[in-house]
Amino acid sequence: MLQKKIIFTTLVSLALTLSVSVSASADLDNSLPFLWPLPAQFTSGNDTLSVDPALSLSVSGNGGHSTIVREAFDRYRKIIFKHSFNGFSVFRGIRSGFDIGKLNVVVHSESEELQLGVDESYSLLVAKNDGRSIIGEATIEANTVYGALRGLETFSQLCSFDYGTKSVQIYKAPWYIQDKPRFAFRGLLLDTSRHYFPVNTIKQIIESMSYAKLNVFHWHIIDEESFPLEVPTYPNLWKGAYTKWERYTVEDAYEIVNFAKMRGINVMAEVDVPGHAESWGAGYPDLWPSATCREPLDVAKNFTFDVISGILSDMRKIFPFELFHLGGDEVHTDCWDSTPRVKQWLRNHNMTAKEAYQYFVLRAQEIAISKNWTPVNWEETFNAFAENLNPKTVVHNWLGSGVCPKAVAKGFKCIYSNQGFWYLDHLDVPWDRLYTAEPLEGINDSTKQELVLGGEVCMWGETADTSNVQQTIWPRAAAAADAYCIRRGIQAAPVTNFYARRPPVGPGSCYEQ
């Protein structure tokens, strides 16, 4: 894994060009800090401040005892001073006086509850302490610990290692930043069914998400190819895993959720029903309509819904996030019509196969809601029977443009993932197209705009495994998130690659190829 820190200048140049917050006369140079995503409001100056490698932390306010903030500071301190160690100034004879020796963090709320819409706003002041300032050298103020995390990320981006002086500098000080996210939901999907990803790889991806200030990890755990998750109530389900080594225990899932929370990231799990579920029958063949009809799941058996309820009950103990994804996409119902027993059930209930699809989705939604979850469904459910969807449904767009405007017009909330822009496995989509995609396109009413929770880039796993998943995600995911992308031990494709993951054609700078 590459350890050098590389700033993707092309992305930052675009951000500076498009942002109205930056002067048109700003020139990119070595002393210009690259903030990505660009804060909502900021001012800067012309001073250069040095940062003490022994930088200390002071946390105050009602959230002053938060381990989330303290552990985050330790992580960022290692990032900021990756080229330094406490004794290097003595060893090299460099001056020991530093402008910034302490980072003050003020957190007003003691709550560490992480849910959709948690306050992630913060303010950041970085100024030289001339003995007259009552504010201090560097101060982050936030209402919640999660706002403090975003402020720590921004502070780390202001810090640059000067290879001439062998010290960490903050250029263009003093800085005053006020920031808050545009959308409450800023997600990345990872598909662990088409290819299994070890827990450590998932953690690396979640860690990299925090650098881009993404805040929802959509875990597409299960699909037709494999069922890698342990479900204690139905222990044979993970017989659908590829091998006994390619599985996630309950403890693994807990670990991933807790790891994400420490970085201000929710985990939204997905159990896609009734389609994309062939792997379920490896452990419970009765879930298949027949030996030759293995999906959609058997709509005619109560056992099918008992299993769904058992899965969701077990998963509710692991995943505290209020949103739960129930899939509902690409359901081909011909199989039900061609299975005599299911066909008879349809006749008995005076249903067509298409109506049975609606029945299945709505019943699954009822199960999720009964467990205090808000259901999320792929857009096919909205396209097929919007008038009967539970009003709590969050519609997840993926097929193309125009769905979110229709969904919010009917009062539904929506998540934008237009596959023409934000499907990362579409390797021929360059980063600038991801950058310019707009979740609010076609929605002019401000009250309707509020129903768009945000957006999500999707890393489907058919063509990605541990050897290339990070290079496929980054840097294009950062463009979609309007986020800052740097290599902090995170493998990423060169930014100007038209086709993601294409290797360099020869020697050269990572800024240029």
Report CA dihedral (497, 502, 503, 505) to the nearest 10 degrees: -60
The question of whether 330 is a catalytic residue gets the answer yes
For residue 126, the SS3 value is strand
Angle separating helix axes 199-211 and 250-261, nearest 10 degrees? 20
Among the listed residues 239, 277, 283, the one whose alpha carbon sits nearest the alpha carbon of residue 360: 277
**Residue 61 backbone zone (phi > 0: left; psi -120 to 50: alpha; other: beta):** left
Chain-centre distance of CA 433, in angstroms?
19
- How far is Cα 164 from Cα 145, in angstroms, rounded to an integer? 36
Cα 10 to Cα 99, 256, 297: the distances in Å are 31, 33, 47
**Residue 199 backbone zone (phi > 0: left; psi -120 to 50: alpha; other: beta):** alpha
DSSP 8-class letter at 135: S
Contact 155, 138 (CB under 8 A): yes
Q: Cis (ω within 30 of 0) for the bond into 37?
A: yes
- Choice among 113, 251, 322, 330 that is catalytic: 330
Q: Is 317 exposed, middle or buried (0-12, 13-18, 19+ CB in 10 A)?
A: exposed
Contact 143, 66 (CB under 8 A): no
Backbone angles phi, psi at 264, to 5 degrees: 70, 30
Q: Is 17 exposed, middle or buried (0-12, 13-18, 19+ CB in 10 A)?
A: exposed
Q: Report the catalytic residues.
A: 330
